[in-house]
Structure 1
Amino acid sequence: MTAKTVGAGELLSPQQLAVVRERSDLRGTWLVVHAWGVIFLSMAMFAWFPNPLTFIAAVVLIGGRQLGLAILMHDGAHGILTKNQKLNMFLSQWFCAYPMLAETGAYRRYHLKHHANTQQQEDPDLILSAPFPITKKSFRRKVVRDLTGQTGYQQRKAQFLNAIGPSDWPLSQRLANFNKKLGKSALTNAALFAILWAAGHPWYFVTLWVLPLLTWHQFITRVRNIAEHAMVDDDDPFRYARTTRAGLFMRAVLAPYWVNYHVEHHLMMWVPCYNLPRAQAYLFANGFGERMEIKDSYFDVIRMATSRPDSDDRPGELKHNARRRRVEGSMGEGFEPSQDAA
């Protein structure tokens, strides 16, 4: 069953629609530059003031911008990052998707199924939200696995094994398969490594790129997944998704580039991320605010998501991970989007 929808004309006036539909080559390009600027400045901060606190800060800031790159790739997949579609795909692919071991076209095919079937049985993202609420013990286990790199390692391992193909394939076939699925990602990551090598910090590729990707980025991706669709209504388009209010600090470390405006995105998926706050203001002005699923903070969402009594905790009861299922094309061929629910 497909998800219910609300027509754009029922939500906003023609004048309001014209404003929120507007796409900007300058703004889209600036957001990509901003993401990479934060990443390199975070590395520079640690290089200038090397100590445990600046290292942790760099990992958190870089992991947040890695999520930011995924968000900008998401807008690219919708064709709304910039007005010029060639620029949209160029930025989305080479500066957002490939560095994150993803691919915009494959993600688009997967993601549009999510929009067409939001919170229905055919929704490929339902696996991310269905297990909630869970116990606090279960959530703590997930956080530990995320922040120690275990979840990220298992997902990337599955992705690489899929890319190199079965061991009984001839070497030429395995190389061709790898090149098809991860060749451009390998190229962009090699370019990043070369830049860091030239800057005199080659080890930053491991400590301040791979490590944030496998730890903090993994954790905040989980929190984002919970906030967006866990414990929402499956029969009301104003409550299929959740918007979560976020201040400056949370936007810096957990919710970059307006990703927290998720109800607005599902109501009008053709609105660029940089226009979502304006879209929300129009929806509120038009009297839809009370109908929308909105939480005041990510802490409120986590409290609700961990409301199941610890007495019901059953480690290993639910396992929605790469051992159960590989979703082709969620972030790129062979990437597993789901996170274990045990």
Structure 2
Amino acid sequence: MPAVKAANPRTIFAPEDWSAITRVSPWQGIFQIVHAWSVVALAAFGTAWAWEQSWMAGLVATPIALAILGGRQLGLSILMHDGAHGLLHPNRQVNNWLGQWPSGAATGSDLHAYRAYHLTHHKFTQQPEDPDLSLSKPFPTTRASLWRKVMRDLTGQTFFKQRSHQFAAALRGLQAMLTNEASEADGKRDTSAGRAFNLQSRSGIDAPVANIEGAKTTARTVGRFLFVQLILLAVSLTFWGWLPFLLWIAALATTFQLFLRIRNIAEHACTTTGSDDPFTHARTTYAGLIERSTVAPYWVNYHSEHHLFMGVPCYNLPRAHALLGKGGYHAKMTIEPNYWSVLRRVTAIPTA
């Protein structure tokens, strides 16, 4: 099918407004990454301190910390996503480093593989060629079905399944690098690892890496992921023992998976598929403090605005939303008042 119809910002925004909301700040992206890691440190070390005070304080603090940590892990993935669009920093090299190392590597994502595959999602949003269509295609579903997925996330089953596939592909890639094994794709930018093993999106997570170069890309991605985990372990042991690091890993295996799922559902599930109207391809969901701390960090809830104008940095999406409202465009958009409303909408099928 042809690419989806794009919105024309020149017919929607005044030139000065468009210039303002598309301006990429040299410091905002860095600030967001520092903010994410600062919250991670406060949650992890604060909970370790709570356990030292009493077991009751520790029991209260631990689930709160897991929610906060999972939210910031999702936040780091969102910031990597902004880097894939070149929106973390106006300097391309700085942007790519920020998206690859302090944000993407922390959760096991590769910026470059993700960028190529994700731009295909934008080009063919909600059409058969959309690599993310599998995220929205199963909906609406039953509450029982969604609840089973939630339990798999919170018990670590989703994490184990994803990481086992990712690590198996990485071992294959490492073997190929050690033996200098080559493929026809070597020397080219391979996107199969972006589709198959990028944890920013679930699409194709169980698919095999298409070729040796894809396996090598996955090996390098896992290498960066493990390197960051070693740094976090060293910091944890230096300042407060094992517990802060264990909390980080526990969140990565549980709450991060759940929040990622909910965020993916909210973005496109039960929106119009294959429509020519660019205002119908994604959903914006209003988010309160708790939602912004968990399932909607760094303004990712303004997803309709992001698809309409993917050159707008995440910190300018609220302003884009306000300008669209001022212009009378909200009526054309898919907007939900909160994430509970989204979940009710996507579980509209009665349980048998």
Which residue identity is paired with 1:231?
Answer: C
Which residue identity is paired with 1:172?
Answer: L
Show structure 2 runs of 5+ residues with no match: 52-57, 182-214
Which residue identity is paired with 1:237?
Answer: P
Does structure 1 residue 219 correspond to structure 2 residue 258? yes
Show structure 1 runs of 5+ residues with no match: 312-342
- Aligned match of 1:292 in 333, 341, 345? 333
Aligned alpha-carbon RMSD (Å): 1.9
- Aligned match of 2:248 in 209, 219, 230? 209
Cα deviation for residue 22 of structure 1 reads: 1.1
Cα deviation for residue 87 of structure 1 reads: 2.0
- Aligned match of 1:89 in 96, 102, 126? 96
CA distance in 2, matches of 1:123, 1:170: 30
The answer for the alignment partner of 2:191 in structure 1 is none
Identity percentage of aligned residues: 44
CA distance in 2, matches of 1:296, 1:253: 16
Task: Note the alpha carbon deviations across 1:113-140, whole angstroms, 9 max, x for none.
Answer: 0000000000000000001010111111
The answer for the alignment partner of 1:28 in structure 2 is 29
User: Secondary structure, in 3 states, of the residue corresponding to 1:243?
Assistant: strand
Task: Give TM-score scaled by structure 2 length.
Answer: 0.84
User: Secondary structure, in 3 states, of the residue corresponding to 2:297?
Assistant: coil
Which residue identity is paired with 1:32?
Answer: I
Task: Note the alpha carbon deviations across 1:125-173, whole angstroms, 9 max, x for none.
Answer: 0000001010111111111101111011101111001110189x68934
Cα deviation for residue 57 of structure 1 reads: 0.8
The answer for the alignment partner of 2:135 in structure 1 is 128
The answer for the alignment partner of 2:222 in structure 1 is 182
CA distance in 2, matches of 1:157, 1:194: 24
Task: Note the alpha carbon deviations across 1:56-106, whole angstroms, 9 max, x for none.
Answer: 111110000000000000000000112222221121111001111111101
Q: Could you tell which deviates more after superposition, 62-71 or 78-87?
A: 78-87
The 8 Å contact of residues 45 and 240 in structure 2, kept in 1 or not, is answered as no
Q: 1:171 to 1:20 in 2, by over 3 A?
A: closer
Give the 5 Å matches for 1:8-23: 8-23=9-24
- Aligned match of 2:113 in 74, 84, 106? 106
The answer for the alignment partner of 2:6 in structure 1 is 5
Task: Note the alpha carbon deviations across 1:290-332, whole angstroms, 9 max, x for none.
Answer: 1011000100000011111111xxxxxxxxxxxxxxxxxxxxx
- Aligned match of 1:192 in 220, 232, 235? 232
User: Secondary structure, in 3 states, of the residue corresponding to 2:287?
Assistant: coil
The answer for the alignment partner of 1:68 in structure 2 is 75
Which residue identity is paired with 2:229?
Answer: N
> How many residue pairs get matched?
309
Q: 1:288 to 1:183 in 2, by over 3 A?
A: same
Task: Give TM-score scaled by structure 1 length.
Answer: 0.87
Q: 1:197 to 1:237 in 2, by over 3 A?
A: same
Does structure 1 residue 273 correspond to structure 2 residue 314? yes
The 8 Å contact of residues 194 and 202 in structure 1, kept in 2 or not, is answered as no
Cα deviation for residue 203 of structure 1 reads: 4.1
CA distance in 2, matches of 1:215, 1:60: 9
The answer for the alignment partner of 2:190 in structure 1 is none
CA distance in 2, matches of 1:137, 1:158: 26
